[in-house]
Amino acid sequence: MKQFITQHEQRIEQELKRGGNSDVLRAYHERQIDYLQAERFAHLAVMLAFALFTLAAFGVFLLQPGLATGALLLLLLVLLVPYVFHYYLLENSVQRWYAIARQLEPLNTEIPPSGANRPTA
Protein backbone atom coordinates (compact mmCIF):
# COMPACT_ATOMS: atom_id res chain seq x y z
CA MET A 1 0.00 0.00 0.00
CA LYS A 2 2.88 2.38 0.78
CA GLN A 3 4.24 1.79 -2.71
CA PHE A 4 0.84 2.50 -4.30
CA ILE A 5 0.49 5.74 -2.34
CA THR A 6 4.02 6.89 -3.16
CA GLN A 7 3.69 6.05 -6.85
CA HIS A 8 0.40 7.91 -7.13
CA GLU A 9 1.79 11.02 -5.43
CA GLN A 10 4.88 10.95 -7.68
CA ARG A 11 2.70 10.59 -10.78
CA ILE A 12 0.54 13.56 -9.78
CA GLU A 13 3.66 15.64 -9.11
CA GLN A 14 5.17 14.72 -12.50
CA GLU A 15 1.94 15.51 -14.34
CA LEU A 16 1.69 18.89 -12.62
CA LYS A 17 5.28 19.72 -13.60
CA ARG A 18 4.58 18.72 -17.22
CA GLY A 19 1.43 20.81 -17.28
CA GLY A 20 -0.85 17.89 -18.18
CA ASN A 21 -4.61 18.17 -18.65
CA SER A 22 -5.87 19.25 -15.25
CA ASP A 23 -9.40 17.91 -15.81
CA VAL A 24 -8.14 14.42 -16.65
CA LEU A 25 -5.64 14.55 -13.80
CA ARG A 26 -8.29 15.70 -11.32
CA ALA A 27 -10.70 12.94 -12.41
CA TYR A 28 -7.95 10.32 -12.11
CA HIS A 29 -6.97 11.61 -8.68
CA GLU A 30 -10.58 11.59 -7.46
CA ARG A 31 -10.96 7.94 -8.55
CA GLN A 32 -7.84 7.08 -6.59
CA ILE A 33 -9.23 8.91 -3.54
CA ASP A 34 -12.42 6.85 -3.84
CA TYR A 35 -10.35 3.67 -3.92
CA LEU A 36 -8.30 4.71 -0.90
CA GLN A 37 -11.42 5.74 1.02
CA ALA A 38 -12.97 2.30 0.43
CA GLU A 39 -9.74 0.66 1.55
CA ARG A 40 -9.62 2.90 4.63
CA PHE A 41 -13.22 2.06 5.55
CA ALA A 42 -12.63 -1.69 5.24
CA HIS A 43 -9.53 -1.45 7.41
CA LEU A 44 -11.38 0.67 9.96
CA ALA A 45 -14.03 -2.01 10.33
CA VAL A 46 -11.46 -4.78 10.75
CA MET A 47 -9.36 -2.70 13.15
CA LEU A 48 -12.39 -1.91 15.31
CA ALA A 49 -13.36 -5.59 15.37
CA PHE A 50 -9.85 -6.55 16.48
CA ALA A 51 -9.93 -3.81 19.13
CA LEU A 52 -13.23 -5.14 20.51
CA PHE A 53 -11.95 -8.73 20.49
CA THR A 54 -8.79 -7.57 22.26
CA LEU A 55 -10.82 -5.77 24.93
CA ALA A 56 -13.02 -8.83 25.38
CA ALA A 57 -9.96 -11.06 25.68
CA PHE A 58 -8.49 -8.65 28.23
CA GLY A 59 -11.72 -8.82 30.23
CA VAL A 60 -11.69 -12.62 30.14
CA PHE A 61 -8.02 -12.60 31.14
CA LEU A 62 -8.83 -10.39 34.15
CA LEU A 63 -11.69 -12.66 35.20
CA GLN A 64 -9.94 -15.95 34.52
CA PRO A 65 -6.17 -15.55 34.16
CA GLY A 66 -4.46 -18.42 32.47
CA LEU A 67 -2.04 -19.43 29.78
CA ALA A 68 -4.72 -19.83 27.07
CA THR A 69 -6.38 -16.45 27.71
CA GLY A 70 -2.98 -14.78 28.02
CA ALA A 71 -1.87 -16.28 24.70
CA LEU A 72 -5.11 -15.16 23.05
CA LEU A 73 -4.68 -11.64 24.40
CA LEU A 74 -1.07 -11.52 23.23
CA LEU A 75 -2.01 -12.79 19.77
CA LEU A 76 -4.74 -10.19 19.40
CA LEU A 77 -2.40 -7.41 20.52
CA VAL A 78 0.25 -8.56 18.05
CA LEU A 79 -2.37 -8.32 15.28
CA LEU A 80 -3.96 -5.08 16.50
CA VAL A 81 -0.86 -2.91 16.81
CA PRO A 82 0.24 -3.22 13.15
CA TYR A 83 -3.37 -2.67 12.08
CA VAL A 84 -3.45 0.62 13.97
CA PHE A 85 -0.27 1.75 12.21
CA HIS A 86 -1.61 0.66 8.83
CA TYR A 87 -4.87 2.53 9.39
CA TYR A 88 -2.84 5.58 10.46
CA LEU A 89 -0.98 5.41 7.12
CA LEU A 90 -4.27 5.19 5.18
CA GLU A 91 -5.90 8.04 7.11
CA ASN A 92 -2.93 10.37 6.69
CA SER A 93 -2.67 9.51 2.99
CA VAL A 94 -6.34 10.30 2.38
CA GLN A 95 -5.95 13.63 4.18
CA ARG A 96 -2.85 14.44 2.09
CA TRP A 97 -4.72 13.47 -1.09
CA TYR A 98 -7.58 15.79 -0.15
CA ALA A 99 -5.04 18.62 -0.05
CA ILE A 100 -3.75 17.60 -3.48
CA ALA A 101 -7.33 17.53 -4.81
CA ARG A 102 -7.84 21.09 -3.57
CA GLN A 103 -4.69 22.12 -5.48
CA LEU A 104 -6.10 20.53 -8.64
CA GLU A 105 -9.36 22.48 -8.43
CA PRO A 106 -9.65 25.22 -11.02
CA LEU A 107 -9.17 28.70 -9.57
CA ASN A 108 -12.24 30.09 -11.30
CA THR A 109 -14.63 27.75 -9.49
CA GLU A 110 -17.39 29.73 -7.86
CA ILE A 111 -17.75 29.16 -4.16
CA PRO A 112 -21.41 29.26 -3.06
CA PRO A 113 -22.23 31.65 -0.22
CA SER A 114 -22.47 30.19 3.25
CA GLY A 115 -25.76 28.39 3.79
CA ALA A 116 -26.68 28.42 0.08
CA ASN A 117 -27.29 24.65 0.04
CA ARG A 118 -29.48 24.56 3.12
CA PRO A 119 -32.97 23.19 2.62
CA THR A 120 -35.81 25.59 3.26
CA ALA A 121 -38.45 24.69 5.79
Taking only the tens of pLDDT, the chain with its 121 residues reads 888 888 888 888 888 888 767 788 888 889 999 999 999 999 999 999 999 999 999 999 999 999 999 999 999 999 999 999 999 999 999 999 998 888 887 755 555 566 555 555 5
Q: Give, as one character, the DSSP assignment of residue 43.
A: H
**38/52 Cα distance (integer angstroms):** 21
Backbone φ/ψ region at 86: left (φ over 0), alpha (ψ -120 to 50), beta = alpha
H or E segment to which residue 5 belongs? helix 2-18
Three-state secondary structure call for residue 117? coil
- What residue ranges do the domains of the chain occupy? 14-102
Q: Are 92 and 63 in contact (CB under 8 A)?
A: no
